[in-house]
Structure 1
Amino acid sequence: MDEIAEAAEKLKLLGDKTRLTILCLLKDREWCVCELVDVLSISQPGISQHMRKLKSHGIVNESRRGQWVYYSLRIQDKPYIQAVLDYMPGTAGTLSLLNKKEPGQCCN
């Protein structure tokens, strides 16, 4: 039962449209917080709250480079999340749905 409870808790996070959109963007590459702010039109504290939840459940990795924080997927041990993301668009498709373009270098 522990595996089911753990999977249910993690999948619950994907029920939020913003978090699911973030994971779709992360399918193809890592993203900096500033890029997510630009593409999703959400404040930096708002993005950070979503990322904190995803990180606390082991769904994303965080790495610091200077003052910027970059995120990447960490779902190798979570095939149920990979299965959901297999049905979701990647970066290009997600950007198209958002009517956005690939962000320029905003964090250099």
Structure 2
Amino acid sequence: MKQVAASVEEVATVLKLLGDKTRLTIMGLLNNQDCCVCELVEIFQMSQPAISQHLRKLKDAGLVKETRKAQWIFYSMNKEHEMHSLIKDILAHIPDQKEKLKELEEKGTKISCE
């Protein structure tokens, strides 16, 4: 089956979203594992509303999905999104974000939202 090319507007929207350093880093983190808002607040040292705003923009564009576990909401990269290969290509050009997740664990500040 031939894949239909995305429109210039669709690509521009994704590039604009990922042009923000925080959102690009969030996507890099979600490329490694699902994250809860509270973990992202700790990593970025930003307020919960600020992180939630970034996640809302990514979710509205369909780049991330959310899964509820009890009272917690976990975010993951939407691997079914038509631009997923473009996003993976972009993420290949930034440092791996696993270190930020590892630092949380080492500092004992990784939050277990189970």
Instruction: Report the TM range for the smaller structure's normalisation.
Output: 0.7 to 0.9
Determine whether 1:18 maps to 2:30: no
Say what the alpha-carbon RMSD is for the aligned residues: 2.0
Corresponding pairs, count: 104
- TM-score, normalised to structure 2, is 0.80
Distance 1:91 1:2, change over 3 A: closer
Determine whether 1:81 maps to 2:81: no
Residue 53 of structure 1 aligns with which residue? Answer: 57
Percent identity over paired residues: 44
Distance 1:89 1:75, change over 3 A: farther
Q: Are 2:38 and 2:111, in contact at CA under 8 Å, matched by a contact in 1?
A: no
Deviations 1:6-48 (A, max 9, x none): 1111110011111111111111110011100111111111111
Consecutive unaligned residues of structure 2, counting only runs of 5 or more, are: none
- Runs of 4+ displaced beyond 3 Å: 100-103
How far residue 75 of structure 1 moved from its aligned partner, in angstroms, is: 4.0
Distance 1:2 1:80, change over 3 A: closer
User: What are the equivalent positions in structure 2 for 1:24-35 lying under 5 Å apart?
Assistant: 24-35=28-39
Distance 1:88 1:2, change over 3 A: closer
- TM-score, normalised to structure 1, is 0.84
Consecutive unaligned residues of structure 1, counting only runs of 5 or more, are: none
CA distance in 1, matches of 2:111, 2:79: 26
User: What are the equivalent positions in structure 2 for 1:31-42 lying under 5 Å apart?
Assistant: 31-42=35-46
CA distance in 2, matches of 1:75, 1:84: 14
Q: Are 1:75 and 1:81, in contact at CA under 8 Å, matched by a contact in 2?
A: no
Structure whose alpha-carbon radius of gyration is higher: 2
Q: Aligned to 2:96, which of 87, 90, 100?
A: 90
